[in-house]
């Protein structure tokens, strides 16, 4: 039976982890004492929702969490240390600390351990998130108990909105580029100079024209997208950045 843990201390356990090629131990106090920590827990590393949405969005919003007083973001799953170590390498997880609850002790102490034997998983964590301050759970978002793998309330955006409904989220920036393109290099320099983190999508010669035509209706690179809006090439990006600067200074 799942229980809300708000107002209670997190379980006192010792996690066994891997640091490089060595075994190490990590206590609950080391993770939570005198800190404000966001935790999200999920059924398993490398599983679809966990890998495609749950973890990446927390990583993406990490700067906004830090700006709103969060010291650490932890992902806890009932997986062994080797699996969690490899999952961290596979994911965009540079801002997240992945904690292996291999024996399920922490998850059981949170009353979040569930039986997923029907999937061949055995005992795993129910999906939830929580805000913990100095070891006390201030807020917990628990997914509804319905069949399947619900993902409605434990997401990063819901947690950030709880912390600060007016929180400024990082811009989402993507560039379609090709190797050796000087205009692409210019676009990346412009974005870096203004502090924009971006994702580069390099296109090979064989698929470039079709991809560009299908997505942008254009035939040249770079093509820049910011927060779902097609900005255009390097010159258009420069003009867009100038307008943003003028608006900020007004």
Q: Which residues form the catalytic set?
A: 50
- The predicted pLDDT at position 162 comes to 98
Contacts 24+ apart (CB under 8 A), 169-172: 169/61, 169/64, 170/60, 170/61, 170/63, 170/64, 170/197, 171/196, 171/197, 171/226, 171/227, 172/60, 172/226, 172/227, 172/228
- Confidence (pLDDT) at 93: 92
| Stretches in the chain below the pLDDT threshold 70 | 1
Give pLDDT, residue 119: 87
237: number of Cβ within 10 Å: 25
Tell which residue, 246, 245, 214, 242, has the closest CA to residue 230: 214
Q: What are the helix (H) ranges across 14-74?
A: 28-32, 48-49, 55-60, 62-67
For residue range 237-249, list pLDDT tens digits in order.
999 999 988 887 7
Query: Is 159 within 8 Å of 69 (Cβ atoms)?
Result: no
Instruction: Identify whether the C-beta of residue 150 lies closer than 8 Å to the C-beta of residue 144.
Output: yes
What pLDDT does residue 181 have?
94
Domains of the chain, CATH where assigned: 14-163 (3.40.30.10), 173-249 (3.40.30.10)
Instruction: State pLDDT tens for residues 165-190.
Output: 999 999 999 999 999 999 999 999 99
pTM: 0.86
Paired strand residues for 15: 26
User: What pLDDT, on the 0 to 100 scale, is given for residue 249?
Assistant: 73
Distance separating alpha carbons of residues 86 and 80, to the nearest angstrom: 10
Q: What is the DSSP string of 57-95?
A: HHHHTHHHHHHTT--EEEEEESS-HHHHHHHHHHSS-TT
């Amino acid at each position: 039976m799942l229980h809300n843990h708000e107002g209670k201390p997190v379980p006192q356990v010792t996690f066994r982890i891997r640091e490089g090629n060595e075994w190490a131990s990590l206590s609950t106090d080391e993770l939570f004492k005198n800190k404000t920590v966001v935790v999200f827990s999920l059924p398993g590393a490398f599983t679809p929702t966990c890998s495609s949405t749950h973890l990446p969005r927390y990583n993406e919003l990490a700067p906004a969490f830090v700006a709103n007083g969060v010291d650490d973001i932890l992902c806890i799953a009932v997986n062994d240390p080797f699996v969690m170590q490899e999952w961290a390498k596979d994911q965009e997880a540079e801002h997240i600390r992945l904690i292996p609850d291999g024996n399920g002790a922490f998850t059981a102490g949170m009353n979040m351990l569930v039986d997923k034997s029907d999937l061949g998983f055995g005992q795993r964590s129910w999906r939830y998130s929580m805000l913990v301050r100095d070891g006390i759970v201030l807020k917990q978002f628990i997914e509804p108990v319905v069949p399947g793998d619900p993902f409605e309330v434990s997401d990063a955006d819901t947690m950030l909105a709880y912390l600060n409904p007016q929180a400024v989220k990082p811009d989402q920036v993507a560039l379609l580029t090709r190797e050796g393109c000087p205009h692409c290099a210019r676009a990346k320099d412009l974005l870096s100079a203004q502090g924009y983190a971006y994702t580069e999508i390099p296109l090979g010669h064989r698929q470039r024209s079709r991809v560009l035509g299908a997505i942008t209706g254009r035939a040249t690179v770079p093509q820049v997208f910011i927060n779902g809006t097609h900005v255009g090439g390097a010159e258009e990006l420069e003009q867009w950045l100038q307008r943003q600067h003028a608006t900020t200074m007004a």
